[in-house]
Structure 1
Amino acid sequence: MAEGVASGFVDIDQLGMCYPPPAGDPDRWALKERALTAVAGEFARAGVARLVVSGVAWPDDPPPTIPGISVHSVWLDASEETRRERLDVRRNEPEQVERSLAAGTAEAARVHPAWERVDTERRSAAATAEDVLARWRVTAMPGESAEPAGPDAGLGGGRVLWITGPRLAGASRIGWEVATHDWEAGRRVGFADVRQLSFAWNVDRPVGLANLARVHATFQQAGARRFVAVAPWEIEPEAVRAALPTSEVVFLRLSAPDAERRARALSRRDEGGPLLAGDDILHASDAVIARIIHTSGARWKVPPRDEEQIIEVGDLSLADAVAAVRRSSGW
């Protein structure tokens, strides 16, 4: 990115949030690979020359391939002690940490020889990144003329719950809880955070909404007839309907006053939370938080856009906010 190369990034976990898992694919490895093939095509059409994909892979198989795109696959290694230190900053439950460590150690012992292994022991992220870049033999991804890979983005049917709002109004957390409610009830539902599908630099068009359409289509092919999407406020309902022309989309905008959103920002910064790519709040200064609140504050007062319902969540508990979303959307 700093070198001016058209670059993209996606975490593989963001491409597999569909539960219950499809039959024969309990860990959703195949589902994630299909979604990756699909979004790689969209990144390529946007002009991305280097796409970085992070996340966990199945160690017993060779690295996934993507038709028409050169793939360089790297398996990062570290001792259990080092991995424990890195997990500690995420504030996970001790039992979850132990399960993750045991699984990682077992997987590292049987990694397929086609993966190129890189040791990260006692190395900074920056040093590891330099090592990976030095090994990366890049062949440019297909350009504008390439046909997109993967399922047809116009695959019909299904309901989409589109949840947006100004920064820190709670769209991501509430949307996740709405999807979780369905998962626990045994209903196959997809979930995606559009911001996490939007990372592209030095390109002349956004990729997030196009990638969302691809992930949505992939999940539909896996049997998900409902889909929860949380998204930045900047994406207009008209653009969503154009990307998902045959889906029934319900548009909800969450609203919370500046004081409430500032309190949430300080809580996230000081108490931690999920580590997501592009998070500018986790270690933010008071000045940065004030700027974020000020920039997004004007959106709180904007009248509803086309077919958009506004839900006030500032004074609601998480459970009450989720109930209000489900009630207003008929979900």
Structure 2
Amino acid sequence: MQHRLPDWPLPQAALIVSILTGIVLGAWKPAMLPPEPPRLPAVSAVGVQVDTLMLGGYTSGSFTDAIQEIASDLSPAERAMVGQHLEKVFGGRLEGGGLGRSGRLRVAYERALRPDGSMRSVRVLAAEAAVGGRLHTAFFFERDGEPGYYDQFGRALDAQGWASPLVAARISSPFGRNRMHPILNRVIPHTGVDFAAPHGTPVRVTGDGVVTSAGNRGGYGIMVEVQHPSGFTTRYAHLSRLGAGIAPDRVLNRGDLLGYVGMTGLATGPHLHYELRSQGRAVDPQRAGTDPGSARPLGSVSGWPDEQSRLTALLSRTPSIVQTFRPSTR
């Protein structure tokens, strides 16, 4: 015959079970039920004002420096947040990590303000950076409920792309430029992208794949090569050491740790040499877009064409001074 305890609240039921157990084991002691938890005050919704701001101008340096220069009438905290957001949006796609010696920047972003006027958050809606004769764009869009940034062709700009195996690293030497090799002292093509980063910076794989080689590789120093399902191969060279368990046939997911920045092989300072190859031929990671096996361009995804047109029109209205419009609350 089974006896069922009454449906007591969980803390009381747990205490009764504990007392019964103590009686059986002969270790029972009088105990008191815990006091009722204090009642918390009711939470009321607070309205948040959301403004859309547009700013732009000709400037130079990092995105943070550029925002400091062209938006001097914004608060230091807001300028820093917008600049840092742009650094994350464009990642390592721009040589030098920003506008370089001279460039044009246009930005449209949302700013959420609390009732007391303090800033709660900033979100970049669209951005355009013209640097060295090339135009880089970024549009905010939610695909299947997942927020992200895409270029004018609908290609993802986040970590799903081939662009950078490091977080917010500076490009010290781009792909393809015939340069004087600092050690060999002769002009040779550069078959990858060099990222300047401190010794020991974590290096992460840019797409799902399998390790085909890991270890010393002559002038590459300590290098990891990864074969991806899409047919691409990536190489990560001059590492100081390999990540735990990195060896041939190791299956990797995008973002897994491969190793750490170093200066092994033919290197004059700590940096990562990163290569992307297709059928053995080196291609520019900055122009390769996303891994077709892991991220499809937006194309005609529902809502994308209209949203891209709206954000493009918004950028076209961007002045060279700060302009605020369309206040709303939410």
Normalising by the smaller structure, the TM-score range is under 0.3
Greater per-residue helix proportion: 1
Q: Larger C-alpha radius of gyration, 1 or 2?
A: 2
* TM-score of the aligned structures, taking structure 2 as reference length: 0.22
Greater per-residue strand proportion: 2
